[in-house]
Structure 1
Amino acid sequence: MNYHFTAIITKEGKWFVAKCAELGVVSQGKTVEEAQKNLKEATELYLEKEKVPRKSLSKKAPLITTFELKYA
């Protein structure tokens, strides 16, 4: 069964830091692609170790968007 998770990736210095929004798992990489790969591996390990109930995981991809506003 495939489940969907949200990766939030930010640039911090020379590293890209990736965080799984649903579980709080964090990893990093020198590129966006490496950070995503490392986050996927870290999330798989977390799910195995913590024995997260499958019914609490989402099978549908979330709709994520950004917006801009002027704040003075």
Structure 2
Amino acid sequence: MKGSFPATLAAGAASVVLTFALVVPAGAKTTRTFSGSNPGEVEKNARKAGYDYPDGEMKCSSRCNQRWAKD
């Protein structure tokens, strides 16, 4: 027995949406990478933008970079 194409397509789309809703947590954090000439400047820039805590390693060469997160 063959189903109609629109019904099959709708069922497939609903399955994808349901799966996506189950995988993505409701309170996901937002992350962004900040840079500065030193670690203090990186922290100042991140906090000024509303980010709460570091979410990665501080990497410095000529400039410092670090990923920060907020909930």
> TM-score, normalized by length of structure 2?
0.31
Please identify the structure whose Cα radius of gyration is greater.
Answer: 2
The structure richer in helix per residue is 2
